[in-house]
Amino acid sequence: MRDDSQLRWPTYPTRGVMLEQAVPAPSGGGSVHVRAADGTEYLDAIGGIGCAPLGHAHPLWVAAIHRQLGRLAASANSFHTAPQQQLAARLIDLFPIPDARVFFGTTGTEATEAAIKLAVRATGRNRIIAFERAFHGRTLGALSLTANPAYRAPYISCPGEQVDAPAFVHSRVTRLPFGDLDAVARAFAEHGSEVAAVIVEPIQGEGGVYPATREFLLGLRKLCTDNGALLGADEIQTGVGRTGNWAAWTTIVGDDPADQPDILWLAKALGGGFPVAACLARASCAEAMTRGTHGTTFGGNPLACSAGLATLRIIEEEGLLARAAAQLPTLQKIAEQRPIARVTEIRGAGAMLGIQIDQPKDKSAGAIGTRLMHEHHILVTVCGGHTVRLLFPYGAGEAELRQVWDALATCLETT
């Protein structure tokens, strides 16, 4: 086998582990364990980076994909297919956007692009308000909304930002502190007639698992309405049940139709591990996307839509929303029983959990993530350098959370 550095672009930090297959779950459902090529079994506490809400290789999900594979795997978007229509209808029924229409894509960043294009076309404006610490993807439009300059330079420059390298694209993104409603009000006062949309993650994931408050999201709703701008919720990481409701917006804000965003987009968990993304928008906005204004070959592919339908069905049939919702309180209970001095905060909602180690400036979580993998065979991600993030399959419960917590205690007490 050739070394990875001879095969792939060196874009990803590699962990030096070759994952091979799911370890069959004793319960017969999806698995929370994966086996590496050397036989080591890992507890997958990042659930395929948020893409395995059912666990890995759930037999019903696998069977649904196999069935569709034998029927029809590919079709142009100028044709209808039953899986595509059924998935669109399910999403319209389950998600809280009033009178929604759906655009299908394949990746998260592609759904963000669809949302940006829709906001610009529907309003005839070209400025977007986004937030510090935000992550919305890595294609050029989505990247302009993503806060981390390490990802953006030398591709994009935004107004008022110092760039060292010549930028490829100049965007009209105004970046403001997350949670600072006054700053958003001031930006509207200055640029109101130019603002197409405010785009926000209800819980910032990559930025460190920071939930927005209800007041902040409702305040954004009002400012957008008052100024003729659209409100967009990036629920790529938070959506499809991760917080215990189909949308994190529902978890934080509630389901009053008047309080909902105009655009809401999903990826990660939607396909249960198969690449599927969807952008929902109110019909009154979606009608701006007339024929030819956007498109993508694989978006809404019948195989992908079958995977999405199976994922939604299994989440409902196995009561996984409630089980996802229970993860945060369960972790909090475990933490109370056995406090770890260096854990300074637990943040999140449902099955989206952030465990902050020391103070953010200490950036001491990276080494802990590595030790959890090598010494305890637990896979986690670290965000912001300070927070261990868990994105378990929704069915994970006390046993798995306790395993992570005990391992964390061992790492932190011996560092």
Ligand X SMILES: Cc1ncc(COP(=O)(O)O)c(C=O)c1O
**Contact positions vs ligand X (CB under 6 A):** 107-109, 112, 135-137, 201, 205-206, 234, 236-237, 267
Contacts of 64 (CB under 8 A, 6+ apart): 306, 307, 309, 310
Give the residue with the Cβ less far from ligand X, 29 or 384.
384
CB of 190 to ligand X, least distance (A): 27
Give the residue with the Cβ less far from ligand X, 30 or 137.
137
CB of 237 to ligand X, least distance (A): 4
CB of 107 to ligand X, least distance (A): 4
Reference 19, options 68, 56, 50; nearest CA is 56
CB of 108 to ligand X, least distance (A): 2
Give the residue with the Cβ less far from ligand X, 192 or 385.
385
CB of 275 to ligand X, least distance (A): 8
Q: At what angle do helices 302-317 and 82-94 cross, to 10 degrees?
A: 40
Give the residue with the Cβ less far from ligand X, 127 or 389.
389
Give the residue with the Cβ less far from ligand X, 55 or 205.
205
CB of 347 to ligand X, least distance (A): 15
Give the residue with the Cβ less far from ligand X, 233 or 285.
233
Q: Which H, E and C letters describe the chain, residue by residue?
A: CCCHHHCCCCCCCCCCCCEEEECCCCCCCCECEEEECCCCEEEECCHHHHCCCCCECCHHHHHHHHHHHCCCCCCCCCCCCHHHHHHHHHHHHHCCCCCEEEEEECCHHHHHHHHHHHHHHHHCCCEEEEECCCCCCCCHHHHHHCCCHHHHCCCEECCCCCCCCCCCEECCEEEECCCCHHHHHHHHHHHHHHEEEEEECCEECCCCCEECCHHHHHHHHHHHHHHCCEEEEECCCCCCCCCCCCCHHHHHCCCCHHHCCCEEEECHHHHECECCEEEEEEHHHHCCCCCCCCCCCCCCCHHHHHHHHHHHHHHHHCCHHHHHHHHHHHHHHHHHHCCCCCEEEEEEECCEEEEEECCHHHCCHHHHHHHHHHHHCEECEEECCCEEEECCCCCCCHHHHHHHHHHHHHHHHCC
Give the residue with the Cβ less far from ligand X, 109 or 174.
109
Q: CA torsion sign, 46 to 114 to 239 to 361?
A: positive
CB of 51 to ligand X, least distance (A): 8
Give the residue with the Cβ less far from ligand X, 113 or 262.
113
Distances (CA, A) of 121 to 124, 171, 284, 325, 338: 5, 16, 12, 37, 53
Residue nearest to ligand X (CB): 108
Cα–Cα distance between 225 and 393 in angstroms, integer? Answer: 36
CB atoms closer than 10 angstroms to residue 339? 9
CB of 206 to ligand X, least distance (A): 6
Give the residue with the Cβ less far from ligand X, 158 or 209.
209
Give the residue with the Cβ less far from ligand X, 48 or 205.
205
Give the residue with the Cβ less far from ligand X, 44 or 201.
201
CB of 142 to ligand X, least distance (A): 7
CB of 3 to ligand X, least distance (A): 25
CB of 42 to ligand X, least distance (A): 20
